[in-house]
Amino acid sequence: MIVNVGLGMLSGLINNDTAGSYTAVDYIAIGGDNTAAAAGQTGLLDQVQIAASTGTQSGTNDETLEMNHEFSFSGTDTIYEFAVFDGSTGSGTDDMLCRSVGGGISVVNGSTIDVTIKITFADA
């Protein structure tokens, strides 16, 4: 779900954001809360990690953005939430473009999760 702040980010980036409020959204964050995504959220509810992603565009008009990062773990956790941010701190500091919640992935020391977030832009 693209959250309210994310809508403003897209508008500002498309408009070249002359006020300098927004920067590229190229960080993926993961977290441990399974509360449903809502438009008014501004960060993950239990951020566990954040990292720079690699991104590619595809489609007839480059309308699909695919971001990826492989996260490594040194302890145990359950990952439910995923988000895209415009900075390396994430929740509470940087602007969040979107957030989604899944069924939960249990991790232990030495585990890795390869996270891919795919956003496709389409007309109504």
Q: Which residue type is seen at 41? A: Q
| pLDDT in the model for residue 20 | 59
The CA distance from 31 to 50, in Å, is: 9
Please provide the distance, in angstroms rounded to a whole number, between the alpha carbons at the two ends of the chain.
16
Domain extents in the chain: 4-120
Whether residue 97 is predicted with pLDDT greater than 70 in this model: the reply is yes
Q: What is the pTM of this model?
A: 0.87
Query: Which pLDDT tens digit goes with each residue over 1-50?
Result: 888 888 877 877 766 655 656 778 899 999 999 999 999 999 999 999 99
Q: What percent of the chain has pLDDT over 90?
A: 61
